[in-house]
Structure 1
């Protein structure tokens, strides 16, 4: 009976009532699609880490079957991941993506590297891998565009026995392994940690937005439920009807959002990270996670809807009479102050999970304190108003600070994200771009002169003009200021194998890892801020339209009393922009405060530009979203005799 009545009321709400329902469905769909993206990002980085783990060998305790060593090579300013393998026993299991274990001298290339070998002249790349026997499968690659070479060697070859330096730039030392399973590398774990923090920065605003979706057109629903209470409906019936209505709409929105996310996966897979795009399959969350999101979103919306029913259940007459609810309590501000006081202590913990929880708490406290600050702003605005628009805006903020906060909360919380990421956005590496390129390789003690002479001979044979000299254990080949990328790659190919297991590198090559990390951080920042702004703009637009529907009777009566439409529109803009300015600025400061424990130096220019751009885009988005709802305001005030629901 309750479900049937709920369905009748949902369908019988009239054209504008159905518009409110569609707004809620749209809000839930946007939240679900972006929430799935945030969840899928973590699964995608996990999949990459697992597929690349075999290149990060684990030393064998006993029963070693092979020697494995990973190193970097370079071509056209791109990194090639080279894995040198040597079998210690017959019938060693094949590495991932290969039909068998490579024999000495054989090479297996990734599809992207094989294509590059075909495109470039042989003396620039192909001569480094003279005996190519096959193409690596996807299970051996971190991403589709990755450049990977697997090269076989004899167990006593220098490539698999010469000692190496164990750091991020130089090759890893040779390792005897009992299997090629490996473990995720340190950089893979770093990306996982960054993905977790980015997810928190995206998920918390999404959850807030999803919860707010349940409160869209809340005044219309509360009036209807209060009327049912006054004619004899029990509190239990009111709660069940509210949950049923909210969850029906939320489930439809969640399914729509999931479908939209699935359609968007091919586009999302083009986002470059860690040097390339994504396998589309990596971006789909597991079936269990997908089911969890599709269940959690309607439950969140249902709980949020029930949380707002206290006044309807306890005091339906007060709702029907539109009495002003009691003021919010200062304890909300105390909660934020407590979290900010302990945040630097929590940030000292090396656990990424603890840092993520601390960020989530700060986020939620900003959302908690928002309505209290909006109410305070309303009292100040009403007390200092010098015109009808200011007075209307101030009284509206005082009467319903929660509704006003829902309109600006998306952009305010985005301000938190911008303040946090703005201070952490790093500047790029600085180097002497005008300096002539030169290749350096470290030789073993006692072989520096011999390696230097061999380098001169190889470069001369390849017809690469260069000045070769040595400094301590480093052999340097200066290629001259006229050397282009092709010349550098010809020199790299000529010097390949000069010192077994070591790759000749330029200064840019030595900085490549750091450059790639900074580029990925910038991409991640753009993605997180883009998601946050999508939520913010959608939230501002949807809640602005919903607010007009909630107050259409009030707007109609004000027009009937002679209030110009322009005054109503100015008041509506003021009740958005005034709290947005205060809370947006406050959220940016809170985000910046939370970023200070992680700062490694002075504030970067890139970070400040990012922060200013976010502020401008946020204000422009909210103003634009408000302008789009102006025709709706004109529509609801056209009827000179507005009728209550």
Structure 2
């Protein structure tokens, strides 16, 4: 073993300037893959952390031992959502008996909101003891208000009659453990258990809020909104990780021809198959481990920048995006292991027929079972629907993704035979013969962009249509769930008049409508919101834009997520094309030199190199886009949006442009390896 490692290290160091260039290309590919892989995996844990921090707002109803009542509603300011949590502590003897709240706790009972000394501020509390909500030092007393730092800063920035007037008795600020993200606007308001805000009926629409619920602790469940983001994050991760795994596997096969020739020579002079495999694994793992460590460092440096990406209404805590030690360790082990396994997978020809490698014999053709695997997976796609388990959806999409990579070399070989048979010019003939001779190498050059085409086809077809951007004149609407709507209209007129807001107020069935006019700016609307706050207990005055806020936020986040996923995919694809193109030139430097010695112009060689990239890219890129669109069809929410088609067109343009540009960067290398056409031993 020691001899094998020593020989591998000497061969790695003694590969010459061009041999070391191939090693550096592998190192760079692994570093990029590791950094992006950590980002893709950490994003899932980041959304999980957000869901956990926000779960206390969606408590599990108490079966016995209720100690408090909790309700949630949404308020708005400057077109931003404020999450309002209404809390009321139950009197100890009523909580223990499970009786509905009424009245004030009798004398001598521990005041609501003050937990006895030594009691833990979270978790399941003893009977009669009210735990502190996450992020608060104690349970809020009736009339107290606790604001998130972002909401507190905004309340100081805006005039009091536009925001601060809604929260007159601020007791402090909410800590990070009670917030989903740093920019979140949250207000926690304490009430008496018999207050109207805690007893009046509310809507059970989860987008609007949640009705009053008796709770025994603040151990809750993830909201439907958080679950939606977790599902989207998982799908995005699958769409990013598969190209990264393919890229990482391809990195192990860079300069594969040079390595095969060298190892075949060692086999012919007596090296055993075990020694050949050991040297290959050692060389690949040494480079991959160095690249993985560098990639982890690159990701750590990029975390502060990544934390500024706004998803779900705000940026991220740095701790959310830092991978846990277990994830980091698993990545640093998995990446070199993948590279080592991929390197060993290419040794079969060297071990079985080293003489064939040395003579540069064409490997046997690829089998049709690759196509059958893709057909089998696509046959399962129509059985999916939006109600299918997200795990099943992720598995099917991932398998379709992998099968495209599996069928790619077979299609490239077929394209090569057609191209060579129909060639009328030398460059096209050379390109076709090269595709037939080594379809796997040709596929590695275009696989990144082809797989990105799958992502673009999938996301392009799923891009939702935009909401109405012209909601009309500003109108605040408040639903009256109990009492007279006309009485509410009278109160609304008085409040708006006192606040100096001109509005036409009327009742439409059980809804109070305050028309502010088309000239009302954001300040006037927020002043009217503040004036109407509390008009209907547990209900918030909203505009039409407010009612669409969640949908518009989700639409914006899907768009941002699409940009992130496609950016990552294109970064991988273009890097893969550039690295693989340069590596291919190094692998075939002797072939190029012999062709130049035979009189082939350099321009013909360059044209042939471009053709063997663009021809399979056109076919496989278009096919991957079609497969991605087919996989997205069961999840469409309506007609295809214009934005989705534009995104798809931009992706196709960037993909072709990126591959052409990456290939052009390796042209000086082609000129260098053919500068001296005299053949030399490898």
Question: 1:507-566 CA distances to partner (integer Å, 9 max, x unpaired)?
Answer: 000110111111111111111111100110010000000000000111111112211111
User: Between Structure 1 and Structure 2, how many residues are aligned?
Assistant: 644
Contact 2:499–2:531, Cα closer than 8 Å, also in 1:
yes
Matched, 1:380 2:382: no
Question: 1:1-31 CA distances to partner (integer Å, 9 max, x unpaired)?
Answer: 0000000000000000000000001111111
Give the superposition deviation at 1:345.
1.8
Equivalent-residue separation in structure 2 for 1:196 and 1:445 (angstroms): 43
Give the superposition deviation at 1:446.
3.4
TM-score of the superposition, structure 2-length normalised?
0.94
- Correspondence for 1:392: 430
- Correspondence for 2:667: 630
Question: Which of residues 31, 36, 40 in structure 1 aligns to 2:33?
Answer: 31
Contact 1:422–1:610, Cα closer than 8 Å, also in 2:
yes
TM-score of the superposition, structure 1-length normalised?
0.99
Q: Where does 1:86-165 land on structure 2 (aligned, <5 Å)?
A: 86-88=88-90, 89=92, 90=112, 91=115, 92-165=130-203
Give the superposition deviation at 1:445.
4.0
| Structure 2: runs of 5+ lacking an equivalent | 93-111, 116-129
Q: Where does 1:171-570 land on structure 2 (aligned, <5 Å)?
A: 171-347=209-385, 350-433=388-471, 435-570=472-607
Equivalent-residue separation in structure 2 for 1:524 and 1:299 (angstroms): 30
| Structure 1: runs of 5+ lacking an equivalent | none
Relative distance call for 1:375 and 1:310 in structure 2 (3 A) is same
SS of 1:174's partner is strand
Equivalent-residue separation in structure 2 for 1:71 and 1:623 (angstroms): 53
- Correspondence for 2:105: none
- Correspondence for 2:106: none
Equivalent-residue separation in structure 2 for 1:598 and 1:180 (angstroms): 35
SS of 1:440's partner is strand
Relative distance call for 1:371 and 1:347 in structure 2 (3 A) is farther
Contact 1:20–1:549, Cα closer than 8 Å, also in 2:
yes
Contact 1:146–1:275, Cα closer than 8 Å, also in 2:
yes
Equivalent-residue separation in structure 2 for 1:240 and 1:531 (angstroms): 34
Contact 1:347–1:354, Cα closer than 8 Å, also in 2:
no
SS of 2:161's partner is helix
Question: Which of residues 15, 18, 21 in structure 1 aligns to 2:17?
Answer: 15
SS of 1:509's partner is helix
Equivalent-residue separation in structure 2 for 1:93 and 1:489 (angstroms): 34
Give the superposition deviation at 1:348.
6.5
Larger mean CA deviation between 558-567 and 28-37 belongs to 558-567
Equivalent-residue separation in structure 1 for 2:209 and 2:368 (angstroms): 58
Q: Where does 1:605-644 land on structure 2 (aligned, <5 Å)?
A: 605-644=642-681
Give the superposition deviation at 1:171.
2.7
Equivalent-residue separation in structure 2 for 1:286 and 1:453 (angstroms): 57
Larger mean CA deviation between 343-352 and 330-339 belongs to 343-352
Which of structure 1's runs of 4+ aligned residues deviate more than 6 A? none
Give the superposition deviation at 1:204.
0.5
Equivalent-residue separation in structure 1 for 2:407 and 2:70 (angstroms): 56
Contact 2:507–2:513, Cα closer than 8 Å, also in 1:
yes
Contact 2:201–2:481, Cα closer than 8 Å, also in 1:
no
